[in-house]
Amino acid sequence: MNLSLEYLIREPKIKLEKNPLLLLLHGYGSNEADLFSFASELPEEYYVVSARAPYDLQYGSYAWYAINFDANENKFSDHEQAKLSRDLIATFIEELIANYLIDKKQITLLGFSQGAILSQAIALSHPDKVQKVIALSGYISEPIFEENYKNNDFSNLKIFAAHGTVDQVIPVEWARKTKSFLTTLGIESVYNEYPIGHGVSPQVFNDFKNWLTKQ
């Protein structure tokens, strides 16, 4: 099946007329196999799809957008590439709905790091396409949202965000702005911190899985 992105899929073990979708978006320098290792532990009624980012960094590593360093070693993101990936993932969601028996009113994005940053950008830019987001070790990056995103209807959007207090890649201070930012927009959200670095601990996994099951 030729879709916009390479992907791995676990079909639902409990077949409904239409099943919910959990779309996994990996971090910078990783690939679709990374988060897919969770698949067997995720709720059985979901299609679990893990997408591969479009930019090839060689040796099985991929990125959703470039991260560059200037002469003073300041890190900055390529926002134009990020917007292209944002729109590519939105198209990919439509393609999945067209090709599988997916309930378009039950779409959840689960992103880690760069994937989490993009998951929130997609949901706030296209809340008609995404109902739930699990954002792990990311932050809100407003420059990559659609220009008029504040006019969107967020009444059906829910977000679970988690971050490590000793994250050495994305400072926890960046993530701490998430809750107030979402509350200002009237978006229902949960923000949890954990005594970990840049990763997903068993506690994080259990917490987001319980959150997802309760929704």
**Crossing angle of the two packed helices 114-125 and 79-99, in degrees rounded to 10:** 70
Domain that holds residue 88: 7-214
Cα of 191 vs its chain's centroid, Å = 15
Assess if residue 2 is contained within a domain.
Answer: no
Assess if residue 22 is contained within a domain.
Answer: yes
Assess if residue 196 is contained within a domain.
Answer: yes
Helices (H), 126-201: 172-175, 178-184
Assess if residue 112 is contained within a domain.
Answer: yes
Exposed, middle or buried by CB within 10 Å (0-12, 13-18, 19+), for 167? Answer: buried
pLDDT per residue, tens digit, the chain (215 aa), is 789 999 999 999 999 999 999 999 999 999 999 999 999 999 999 999 999 999 999 999 999 998 765 555 566 678 999 999 999 999 999 999 999 999 999 999 999 999 999 999 999 999 999 999 999 999 999 999 999 999 999 999 999 999 999 999 999 999 999 999 999 999 999 999 999 999 999 999 999 999 999 98
The CATH number of whichever domain residue 124 belongs to comes to 3.40.50.1820
Assess if residue 1 is contained within a domain.
Answer: no
Assess if residue 35 is contained within a domain.
Answer: yes
Q: How many domains does the chain have?
A: 1
